Amino acid sequence: MRTIILSIMVFLLISCGETEEQKNKRVSDCIDRNLDSQVSMGEESCRRDPVFTKCGLEYANTASGLCASNMKSKTYNEQVESCKATVKSNAYSYEMQTDIIKMCQ
């Protein structure tokens, strides 16, 4: 009997689904987690290889000797900071946010 009542309660909870407020919070949390993760992974990549990371993000489909040359003329710390700025602008780009929103819905 107890199992039947518990099963009915679980069924009712599941069948009710999430409210609009719950859905909005879930999607918002998902977006925040994904953006944070994108930026965190990108910044780690910048610390490991700032030239390749920055130039790869800026010139994804073409090799850019100019980008690499400009980056190599900077100190390592300047390279990392420049790379991190590119990572952040890329993570918050319209295209990236659109992809993340689609994934989270």
Cβ-in-10-Å burial (0-12, 13-18, 19+) of 1 comes to: exposed
Determine the pLDDT at residue 69.
Answer: 92
The Cα–Cα gap between 14 and 36 comes to 30
List all residues 6 or more positions away from 84 whose beta carbon is below 8 Å from its beta carbon. 42, 43, 46
Determine the pLDDT at residue 100.
Answer: 86
What is the residue extent of each domain of the chain?
A: 42-105
Most confident stretch, 63-67, 82-86, 88-92: 82-86
| pLDDT tens-place string over residues 10-37 | 555 555 677 888 888 988 999 999 999 9
- Which DSSP symbol is given to 93? S
What confidence category does residue 64 fall into, taking pLDDT thresholds of 50, 70 and 90? Answer: confident
SS3 47: helix
The Cα–Cα gap between 22 and 17 comes to 10
